[in-house]
Structure 1
Amino acid sequence: MRISQIAGFFLLFCFFANITPAVAQDTWSLKRCVDYAMENSITVKQQEVQKRLAELTLQQSRLSMIPSFNGNVNAWYSDGRIASISDNAYINQSVFNASGQLNMNGDLFNWFSKQNLIAANRYDVASNGFLLQKARNDLAFNVATAFLQILLKNEQVKVNEVQVKQTLSNLDNTRKLVIAGSVPESNQADLEAQLAQDSTNLVTAKNDVILAILQMKAYLNMGFDIPFVPEIPDNISSLPITPLAEMAPEMVYSAALTSYPLVKSDELRIKGAYRSYRSAVGQLFPSLALTGGLSTSYANNFYGMDGKLIPFNKQLDNTFGKNIGLSLKIPLFNGYQQRTAVSKAKVNVYNMELTRDLDNQKLRQDIYTAHANAVAALQKYNASATGVMAAQKAYDFATKRFNIGLMNTIDYITTQTRLFKAQIDKVSAQYDYIFKMKLLEFYRDQRISL
């Protein structure tokens, strides 16, 4: 069996293996992919957990404003020489004692330390809300990028399939010419080798589609054994893209400052850090609290004047006591722990400001880089489109010359390869330009659409 026959059978096998599963499978649009990812992404779930933890911290700080009530019950048994409750004389006896207390403690004034802590935790919840939004936006963009990669790899498969078909057609025509004695058999061998190379390129291109789909499934947190068929648009050129002239980097950056979740999160973290600092300052001053309590006890060696054991209920009544008072806590010296806490809280405010400035700087740099890449991608696409037209024209002339024996096989294959490379470059450049523009749109609006 000749190489051309092997390649032909292999091509047919790949073709049917590629289309058969799609018949029985539904397709995945970008919207469906994004919605599925939002429901199943581990990264998003982790950020949801962080937001929930912040909410619980806020809830606890609010509940700390309520006075605390604590009760305790104690019971103990002793045996030996023990002082009698009645006359305080030591005698050998076995005694069971029980007591109970209920205590209350509530802050009256603490220089707004708790109020500032509540405010700091409230800002932290809001900040985590924006971080959750950022996680969702980033996931949507990553899914869209993976979707574009799948579309690109599918387009490259189509180009490779056309290349194989062209080589098969040329090989079939050359085989006839060899039989007729018009061209040497080496021409046929050269085309058979080219067909083998083209078939290998096709297999590689199809494998690239599989790898791109696996990346998509990772973003979706989908089982790798579950079928996935993307919904491929009829014409990628019809995708809505904002003109590059309307995407000046400084304009995009200004818009991003009002919509980028990380920017909003950083501002809230600064406010929260400042409130934490004020809360720590409040701990340096005296605090006033209201205290109160109830208590009672029972003992099995508590006898009355008549020598009889006083009943349980009567003992509880007789020993029942209550108290109420004010507690003034004055911090004097504790190893400068609180002053250190205040200093650290103040430094943390400055650190949060530096983090904001660094994030804003990186955002601006990323936007300017994305814009420069978009300009280069557009220029590359225009150049590749011109290259395809020139390569196609050269290939058409070469085909006519080759068919009448005026061009050798090596030169013809070289011309064909140049056309193939130009087509691949154009497809890649087109998708690269779309990706770069979608990235700019994402920075500007925090939305992604195809």
Structure 2
Amino acid sequence: MLFASLLVENNKEMKQILLTTILSFGLVTTTVAQEKFWSLNDCMRYAVENSPAVKKQTFTYDTYKAERNASVASFFPTASANVGAQYNFGRSIDPETNTYNNTSTFNNSYGLSTQIPIFTGGQLINQWLLGKSNVKMGKNDIQKKKDDLALETMQAYADVVYYKGTIKIAAEKLEESRRTLYKTKRQEELGLKGKADVAQFEAQVATDDYTLTHQQNLYNTALLTLKEKMNYPSDLELEVDTLLPDVSFVTVNENVNEIYGYAEENNPTSQQADFQLQAAKYQYRMSKGAMLPQIYFNAGISTNYFENLKSEASPASFNSQFKNNRGEYLGFTISFPLFNGLSKVTNLRRYRNNLRIAEETKTEVLRQLQNAVEQSVLDREGYAKEAIQMDKQVSSNDLAYRITLRKYEEGLMSSLDVQTSSNNLLTSKANLLQKKLMYLMKSKLVDYYKGKPLVEAEN
């Protein structure tokens, strides 16, 4: 009976344990499913898709398309229609006798006219070319805005990952200092260590605790900056994937001239300077064309209906007057700009100077782009070498810290030696993390100058 009762109790306990395990597993599974770790590509894509700056640039691009369509429509004839009604009283001209008399009349006029530009000094053609160029520039400006925002997001993302890593390093350092402090206190109770050693490690624990708090504050600031770049709601959680990919830091001999040659032709920064130069050329040509005579062809047709309101005779019918009073005209208009307050001359000088400014700006932009390409390649190679050396330094500092700690416990080293060795290890770990992040960023930047998009397409 005793065995049977124990068996029943054991079965109940097993069922409770099994049920608790299943519920716990389901809770953990649900929690994990709800969490999302944002990768760099996820953050950049979200920033690009939700950026007000990109949306505003899209609206500007739509305006450029409307202006292009208007420039095309300017080649076509302009047409206008007018209808007028006029009631005259007192002394007025009688259209039938062409004399003044004192009467009341009603006049209803209709007209239709058209105008065709024949020669405008090339203004219409250059306006059309400017519209086409601006449409391309608007599309390029959208891509440039996306790329600039993606680069800013990448920098903010790297800061978050870095400070997340330093928090982990600082927490490990604090835990190690607390364990050493505990051992030192026990040794002090046994008479193996003095109070000075205990005070030294208490100060070290306090310093490590402050360092951890400081790194947490820096992380919160970096996370807020990342949310700002992404236009992400600040009240929502944002878990960043801090797992760095395995990278083999191998130096590669890149042909900087080839990378710059491709970037000069295809990078949005260089294309933007080129489009601005083209726009300045077309505007300068239009200002010169405004100095030339302009020729237009005009044509029109008009008719009217007249009625003397005080005449006893009945007026002619509306249909007969509408037909008999009809008149047509054809003509050419030539206008010569003689003097308009020097406004055309001023515009000519303004757009000529704008053209020269655009030429200098393009030269400056290309030079900066070349420097950026060269600097990115040099930085990538430099960070690769530094990361290799820093990895070795971390291993050496870790070994040195373990040896120093063991010797301290044996009484062969002072607490100050342990503190110095520990700080060296902490600094080398933080530097290694920084070099890895900078190498990854510079590698992505070099690939960007080669033509690889910053934001990868979503699978």
Q: State the TM-score bracket (shorter-chain normalisation).
A: 0.7 to 0.9
Structure 1 unaligned blocks of 5 or more: 1-20
CA distance in 2, matches of 1:35, 1:372: 28
With normalisation by structure 1, the TM-score equals 0.84
Shift in Å, 1:118 = 0.6
Shift in Å, 1:303 = 7.4
**Percent of aligned positions with the same letter in both sequences?**
23
Residues 297 and 225 from structure 1, CA distance in 2 versus in 1: closer, same or farther, beyond 3 angstroms? same
Spell out the pairing of 1:259-298 with structure 2 (5 A cutoff).
259-298=266-305
**Pairing partner for 1:407 from 404, 413, 425:** 413
Asked whether the 8 Å contact 1:58–1:122 carries over to 2, the reply is yes
Asked whether the 8 Å contact 1:401–1:407 carries over to 2, the reply is yes
**Pairing partner for 1:65 from 44, 62, 75:** 75
CA distance in 2, matches of 1:85, 1:117: 46
CA offsets 1:298-357 (integer angstroms, 9 cap, x no match): 4442677x7124444444334332222222334455456545544544444333222211
**Pairing partner for 2:51 from 33, 36, 41:** 41
Q: Which region of structure 1 is more displaced relative to structure 2, 398-407 or 379-388?
A: 379-388
Asked whether the 8 Å contact 2:44–2:455 carries over to 1, the reply is no
Structure 2 unaligned blocks of 5 or more: 1-30
- Structure 1 SS opposite 2:237: coil
- Structure 1 SS opposite 2:240: coil
CA distance in 2, matches of 1:76, 1:240: 89
Residues 248 and 171 from structure 1, CA distance in 2 versus in 1: closer, same or farther, beyond 3 angstroms? farther
Residues 23 and 394 from structure 1, CA distance in 2 versus in 1: closer, same or farther, beyond 3 angstroms? farther
Amino acid across the alignment from 1:416: S
Number of residue pairs matched by the alignment? 427
**Pairing partner for 1:177 from 171, 187, 193:** 187
Q: Which region of structure 1 is more displaced relative to structure 2, 151-160 or 30-39?
A: 30-39
Spell out the pairing of 1:18-417 with structure 2 (5 A cutoff).
24-87=34-97, 92-233=102-243, 236=244, 238-239=246-247, 243-301=250-308, 307-334=313-340, 337-338=343-344, 341-417=347-423
Asked whether the 8 Å contact 2:251–2:385 carries over to 1, the reply is no
CA distance in 2, matches of 1:84, 1:272: 57
Asked whether the 8 Å contact 1:85–1:303 carries over to 2, the reply is no
CA distance in 1, matches of 2:214, 2:428: 18
- Structure 1 SS opposite 2:239: coil
CA distance in 2, matches of 1:300, 1:178: 125
Shift in Å, 1:359 = 0.6
Shift in Å, 1:203 = 1.9
- Structure 2 SS opposite 1:69: strand
Amino acid across the alignment from 1:34: M
Asked whether the 8 Å contact 1:127–1:266 carries over to 2, the reply is no
Which residue number in structure 2 is paired with residue 6 of structure 1?
Answer: none
Residues 76 and 226 from structure 1, CA distance in 2 versus in 1: closer, same or farther, beyond 3 angstroms? farther
- Structure 2 SS opposite 1:323: strand
CA distance in 2, matches of 1:449, 1:122: 28
Residues 178 and 76 from structure 1, CA distance in 2 versus in 1: closer, same or farther, beyond 3 angstroms? farther
CA offsets 1:131-183 (integer angstroms, 9 cap, x no match): 22221122222222222222212111111121112112212222322333332
CA offsets 1:85-129 (integer angstroms, 9 cap, x no match): 454565554444443322211113445431222112211221222
Shift in Å, 1:61 = 0.9
Amino acid across the alignment from 1:404: E
Which residue number in structure 2 is paired with residue 18 of structure 1?
Answer: none
- Structure 1 SS opposite 2:147: helix
Asked whether the 8 Å contact 1:139–1:219 carries over to 2, the reply is yes
* TM-align CA RMSD: 3.0
Which residue number in structure 2 is paired with residue 5 of structure 1?
Answer: none
Shift in Å, 1:211 = 1.7
CA distance in 1, matches of 2:246, 2:392: 20
Residues 51 and 404 from structure 1, CA distance in 2 versus in 1: closer, same or farther, beyond 3 angstroms? same
